[in-house]
Amino acid sequence: AAELAEVMAAVGLAQNLAAIKALATTGIQKGHMRLHARQVALAAGASEDQVEYIARQLAHENNIRVSRAKEILQDGNL
């Protein structure tokens, strides 16, 4: 029973380490930034048809700001 408890504790620690690593790497951050870019595009006044394009452009430029989203909207190259 004690050995099983030790193995389970080790597995739990390994899972925790994997979760922390995932949070610290680009995978989750990239997904979060994509979602954030969509929200920024909406906040800038983009229509549903424009949101995806603007969000992709913001993420590509690594400049996820409402002011930049408004510039893209004003350029009208959608």
Contact yes or no for 73/44 (Cβ under 8 A)? yes
DSSP per position, 25-67: SHHHHHHHHHHHHHHHHHHTT--HHHHHHHHHHHHHHT---HH
Q: Where are the domains of the chain?
A: 2-75
pLDDT, one tens digit per residue, over 31-43 is 778 889 999 999 9
pLDDT, one tens digit per residue, over 53-76 is 999 999 999 999 999 999 999 998
Residues in the chain, total:
78
